[in-house]
Amino acid sequence: MCWPFTVLTALAILTDGLVYAAYLFLVAVGLTLIFGVMKILNVTHGSFYAFGAYGAAIAVGIYFDRGYPAAGGFLLMVLVACAIGLVLGLVLERGLLRLVYGKDEVVVVLVTYAAFLILEDVIQLIWGTNSYALYQPLDLAGTIDAGPLVLSGYDIGLVVFAALLAAAGSFALKHTTWGRLLTVVIFDRELAASFGINVSLVYTVTFVLGAMLGALGGAAMAPKISVTLGIGVEVIVLAFAVVAIGGMGSVGGAFIGALIVGMCRAAAVHLVPQVELFVIYAVMALVLVFRPQGLFTRAQPRKI
C-alpha cells in the first residue's frame, strides 16, 4: 500500500510528538508535584532521574541476564525506581530540606542544587565513569509497522504509561483523601495548617512521591538511552520548562504542556530541523506571554 507523503509525515509527527511528550511528562511530573505543594524548584530532580536510570539499568539488567520472565522485568523497573525514590526522597527531605524550610526560596533552590552536585559525584563514586545499557525491554517490546514508518512497541508503551500516570495523578489529586490534602496545601499552606492539616507530613509525603516519580522517569527512559554521567543535567531544564508551561502543581498542566512541546518539536524536526534547538524555549516564552502563571493555574487571591 502506497502512503502519500504528507499523510506519512503527519502520522510521523503525531506519533513522534506523543512519544516525546510522554518522555517530557515522565520527566516533569515529579517536579511539578514538589513545586506545587512545597514551592521548591527542586534541582535534585535531575539526580532522582539519574539514580532511577542507573538503578534500573543495573538491577533489571541483572534480572534479564538471569533469564527470568519478561513481565517481571518491567515490574522490577517500577519497583526499583520507587525504592530509590523512597530512600533518596526521605534522606533529602528529612535530612536536609527540613533545615531550610523557613528560608528564602532562592536559598532552598541552592540547597537542592548543592545536593545535586554532591549526588552527581556520588553516582560517579558508586558506578564509575562507564555507561550502562538496558536494552532488553526495548527488544522485547517489538515493533509495529505503519507503512515505511516503523514504531517501537516500547515507545507506544511509554505513551500509554504516561497517559495512565497522568490520569491516575489527576484522579488521585481530586478524589482521594491524600490527594485532596495535597491540593489544599497547594492552594494555601497557611490555611491548610490552620485547619489542622499536618503540613510537615504532607511535605515529606510529597517530596518522596516526587522523588519516586523522578526516579520512575529515569527508569522508564533507561532502555532507550546510554546510562552515563551527566544524564541528570539535561533533564533539569526540560522538566523546569514543562512545569513553567503547565503551571505549578498541575498534573494536567504538565501533561498538556508536554503535549504542546512534544508536537511542536516533532513538527520542527520533520519540517524545519534547524529550529529544533529553540522549540522548547520558544513555546515556553509564548505560553508565558499569554498565561503568565502557566496554563493551568489557580486564581490567586490578593493578600495584603
Partner 1 sequence: MSSYRLMLAATAAFSFVAAGGSQAQQPAAPEPVKIGIVTFLTGPAAAPFGIPDRNAAEAMIESLNAGKGPAPYNQVGLGGAKIEPKFLDEAGSAADQVTQYRNLVERDHVDVVLGYVSSGNCLAIAPVAEEMKQLTVLDICGTPRIFEEKSYHYVFRANPTATMDNVGAAKYVLEKLKDVSVYSGINQNYAWGQDSWRDFDLTMKDLAPKTTTDKVLWPKLFSGEYGAEISTLLTSNAQIIHSSFYDGDLEAFIYQSVARGLPKRIPYVLTSGETSLYRLGPKMPDGMFIGARGPHSFFAHGGDLNTWLTKIYVDRFGLQPVYPSYMMAQSLLGLKTAWEKAQAKKGGARPTQEEVIAAFEGIEFNTPSTTVKLANGKGHQGVTDTAYGTYKFDKDESKPTLVDITRYPADCVNPPPDVDSVTWLQGGMKGAKCN
Partner 2 sequence: MIPRSLSIGALAFIVVAIAGPFFPAWLISLATVAFANALVVLGLIILWRSGLVPFGQALYYAIGAYTVALIGRYSGVHDIFFMVVVAALLAALTAYLTGLLLARYREIFFAMLSLAMSMILYGILVKTETLGSTDGFHVEAPRWLGYAPAAGWMRRAILFWTVLAFDGAAALLVSLYFRSIAGSLAAAMRDNEIRLEFLGISVNRLIHLNLVIAGTLAGIGGALAAFAVEHVDPDMSYWTTSGGFVFVTVLAGSGSVAAAFAGSFVFELLKSIAYDLLPGTWQMFLGAALLLTILFLPEGLGSLLLRHRRTLKAIRAAGR
The residue from 4, 196, 273, 292 that contacts partner 1 (CB under 8 A) is 273
Is residue 112 part of the contact set for partner 1 (CB under 8 A)? no
CB nearer to partner 2: give 49 or 116.
Answer: 116
Contacts of 280 (CB under 8 A, 6+ apart): 238, 241, 261, 265
The residue from 177, 194, 274, 300 that contacts partner 1 (CB under 8 A) is 274
Interface of this chain with partner 1, residues 154 to 193, rule: CB under 8 A: 154-155
In the beta sheet, which residues pair with residue 146? 149
* Interacting partner of 10 out of partner 1, partner 2, none (Cβ under 5 to 8 A depending on kind): none
Contacts of 11 (CB under 8 A, 6+ apart): 146, 149
Grid coordinates of 104: 528564602
Rounded to an integer, what distance in angstroms lies between the CA atom of residue 162 and that of residue 160? 5
Stretch that binds partner 1, among 105-113, 198-206, 220-228, 290-298 (CB under 8 A): 220-228
Rounded to an integer, what distance in angstroms lies between the CA atom of residue 82 and that of residue 214? 9
Is the separation of the CB atoms in 258 and 32 below 8 Å? Answer: no
Is residue 129 part of the contact set for partner 1 (CB under 8 A)? yes
Is residue 43 part of the contact set for partner 1 (CB under 8 A)? no
* Interacting partner of 160 out of partner 1, partner 2, none (Cβ under 5 to 8 A depending on kind): none
* Interacting partner of 285 out of partner 1, partner 2, none (Cβ under 5 to 8 A depending on kind): partner 2
Is the separation of the CB atoms in 235 and 42 below 8 Å? Answer: no
Written as one letter, the residue type at 275 is: V
Three-state DSSP class for residue 85? helix
Is the separation of the CB atoms in 121 and 216 below 8 Å? Answer: no
Three-state DSSP class for residue 227? strand
Rounded to an integer, what distance in angstroms lies between the CA atom of residue 301 and that of residue 165? 30
* Interacting partner of 202 out of partner 2, partner 1, none (Cβ under 5 to 8 A depending on kind): none
Is residue 131 part of the contact set for partner 1 (CB under 8 A)? yes
* Interacting partner of 176 out of partner 2, partner 1, none (Cβ under 5 to 8 A depending on kind): none
Burial class of 266 by CB neighbour count within 10 A (0 to 12, 13 to 18, 19+): buried
Q: How far is the CB of 228 from partner 1 (least distance, A)?
A: 5
CB nearer to partner 1: give 126 or 201.
Answer: 126
Q: Which residues bind partner 2 (CB under 8 A)?
A: 35, 41, 96, 99-100, 103, 105-107, 110-111, 113-118, 120-122, 124-125, 233, 237, 240-241, 243-244, 248, 274, 277-278, 281-282, 284-285, 288-289, 292-294, 302-304
Grid coordinates of 131: 555507561
Q: Give just the sign of the alpha carbon dihedral 31, 212, 158, 133.
A: positive
Q: What is the DSSP letter of 148?
A: T
Site residues, partner 1 (CB under 8 A): 5, 8-9, 12-13, 15-17, 19-20, 23, 95-96, 99, 118, 120-121, 124-125, 129-131, 133, 135, 138-139, 141, 143, 148-152, 154-155, 221, 223-226, 228-231, 234, 265-266, 269-270, 273-274, 276-277
